[in-house]
Structure formats: C-alpha cells, structure tokens
Amino acid sequence: MSELPRVLVTGASGYIGSNVVAALLAEKKYRVRGTVRDATNETRTKPLRDTFPEIELFSADLNKDDGWKEAVAGCTYVHHTASPFPSRLPSHPDELIRPAVDGTRRVLEACVEAGTVKRVVMTSSIATMSTGFVGNEGKPRGHVYTKEDWTDPEWSRCPPYEAGKTYAEKMAREFVEKLEGEKKFEFVTIHPAGVFGPIIFEPSTSLGLLAVLMKSEFPSVPDLMIPFTDVRDVSKAHVAAMTKGVSGERYILWTDTLSMRAFARILADEFNPQGYRVPLRNMWKTTLWFAQLVDSRVKMAYSWIRSYVKYENSQTKEDLGVEPTTAKESAIDTAYSLIEHQVVPKMAGFKGRENKD
C-alpha cells in the first residue's frame, strides 16, 4: 500500500471534491489525501471520515498560507477542486475573486516546493469560456464555444464568480508556463457546465435549481436555459485527466443546454405520481423580473433568460473517454439524492425508484 502514488484533492468535502475522492478510491491505485478548512473539527469532518475511512485529511484554507505545504508534500498528483461558489451575489466581487486566485496560487506554490508533483488537474468552469451561461460579448447566438474561447472578466456583464474563475485559470496557466527544469509539472483544466448529479455530503448551489422545482417554491417555471453536466462525469474526467489527458488542455464537460421547463417535465413525470407537485406552467417574464428583486437566487439566474449556449466537447470524449450522462438520468438521480439527504422532503406518496407501481 505504501508504494501507491499519493494524490491530493483540495476541497475534499465539497460537491465535486467528494466525488473525485470517491472515483480515486474506487480505482484502488492511489493513497488519497484531502484538504478541508479545519481537519480538527470532528463534527464537520466525521461524514467525510466515515464515508472514506482511508482518506488522510489536512487543514488548509484558500485564504491562508498555513497548511498547503504539508498537504502537498509527497504527492504525485493534485486535484484542485476547491473554489468559492456563491449561494447569492456577494456584496463585493473580491469576496469571490481573491480566494479563487490567491487560493490557486497557494496550491501551485506548494506543488513547486514539494518537488514530487507530476501533474495538477484543476477544476475550472465553462465560466472561463462563455461568461458562464450568458455568452461572450460580440458572439452571435448559436456560437459554439471551444477551448479557444475566453471570458472577458472586465466586461460589465461578467459576474464575480465568472470573473474569479477566469482570473484564477489565467494566473495558473501563466504560473505553470514560467516554471523551468525540475520545478516544472504538467497542468490540465476541467471545465464543467452547471453540475447536477447525486450528492455525497452537502448539495452545491447549482442543485438549488432542481430543489426549487421539487419543493414547488414557485408556482410556475422561469424561462431559463441551463448548460449542464453530471458530477459523475466530472469526477471521471478528473481521474482520467490525471494520467491520460494532454498536458495544457482545457477539457469541456457539457451534456446539453436545456430549459428549466424541460428539467421540470423530467421531474414531474417521475415524481408527481409520488405526491410531488413539480410546476410546469411557464413563468411570465414580468413575474420573473419582480421575483429577482426579492430572491437572491433568482437574481443570480436572471441573466440566463433565453441564453442558449453550446460547447464543443468531442476532445473530452476522445482523450478522456467520458460519455455524457443523459439529462433524464442526471435530473432523476439528483432528485432522489436530494430526497435521501433530506434537502427535499419525502412526500406521503413517495415510493422510491425501485418501488413505484
């Protein structure tokens, strides 16, 4: 066991991070190490330790220098999945931008100091290619975004999260490009769209869209277009990119772009017979405008109205062998997972996936 290569996953308790940990351990080829903000907090880390008893945990915070050197020491590969993701718009853009950029720099500097790291795989985002779900200034409707496209973080319509991810990736690429000799290591980025799929611990902000539908928080469905992927595909891509991917590449994880009403239909067909009331009526645009004034979640998504954004993901399939999980499978598996973790209440008529009539 001691001869197996050691792999670090930053943000190991996060939505993507925990799935990457699970995928790595399933390979039975690696010793897996993870970072959390405070590894001494038994209450917070107990679910992680109970689920993955083999994992070695280290304390490391994106906003602090402490801990990163120790976490990376002796590692052959590093998966940098930790990144701030907002549940609402921040009061100042730097609340997201600075941790994203400075935290990434801390990880890369620790990799240089360790001297053992062969490759870093970083979770970036389609946000760095297409201003998230909005699309870039000057690009025509129907433009297919590729690894050659870059978000302009200085554009007035660029939200803080998208800006932070873009600044962080550009900084990382410049940092690695300047490395020479024995300090040099390989670098790959993974670019997920909106991530759905089952949760291991706590749900990510992106899953709030499906939770809203399942809990019937709105009587109708806003006309939002959502580029999406499945978290299981993201974790597979991370593990494959660690040894199979081409160094320097930007791998896009995108299944399709569907309307929120399309997701509602998938969920309604599966869950309304089990006592749920997933709405199907289209929300008037004036209603959505008023809703975004009082609900921060709606305000974040308001710019996605009728924004149909597509991506070129053939290289991800060819190089990494990742075939996208279907929208139906992803949405239904996500909803069952939210019910199992009590994010969405279990209705009286709930029969479960295997026990439906």
290 CB-contact burial (10 Å; exposed 0-12 / middle 13-18 / buried 19+)? exposed
- Tokens describing residue 158: 């660029």
Tell whether 331 is covered by a domain: no
Among candidate residues 195, 171, 207, 237, the one with its CA nearest the CA of residue 340: 207
Tell whether 301 is covered by a domain: no
User: What is the mean pLDDT for each group of 10 consecutive residues in the chain (357 residues)?
Assistant: 87 95 97 96 93 97 95 98 66 78 96 97 96 85 93 89 94 97 96 96 82 91 88 98 95 94 96 96 67 56 65 96 96 96 95 70
Among candidate residues 314, 312, 310, the one with its CA nearest the CA of residue 140: 310
Q: 78 forms bridges with which residues in the sheet?
A: 8, 120
**Residue-wise over 222-237: b if at least 16 C-beta within 10 A, else e?**
bbbbbbbbbbbbbbbb
Q: Give pLDDT, residue 223.
A: 77
Q: Give pLDDT, residue 19.
A: 97
The domain of 132 spans 6-202+229-254+309-325
CA distances in angstroms from 174 to 7, 167, 201, 274, listed in the order given: 23, 11, 34, 52
Specify the CATH number for the domain of residue 47. Answer: 3.40.50.720
Tell whether 300 is covered by a domain: no
Report how far residue 231's alpha carbon sits from residue 214's, in angstroms, rounded to the nearest whole number: 19
Tell whether 150 is covered by a domain: yes
Tell whether 15 is covered by a domain: yes
50 sits in which H/E element: helix 42-51
Q: Give pLDDT, residue 171.
A: 98
Pairing of strands 256-259, 225-230: antiparallel
Question: Tokens 């295997």 — which residue?
Answer: 354
Tell whether 291 is covered by a domain: no
Q: Give pLDDT, residue 274.
A: 97
43 CB-contact burial (10 Å; exposed 0-12 / middle 13-18 / buried 19+)? exposed
Q: Give pLDDT, residue 90.
A: 59
**Residue-wise over 164-194: b if at least 16 C-beta within 10 A, else e?**
bbbbbbbbbbebbeeeeeeeebbbbbbbbbb
Question: Tokens 């081409």 — which residue?
Answer: 246
Number of domains the chain contains: 1
Tell whether 194 is covered by a domain: yes
Q: Give pLDDT, residue 97.
A: 86
Which residues does the annotation mark as catalytic?
A: 165
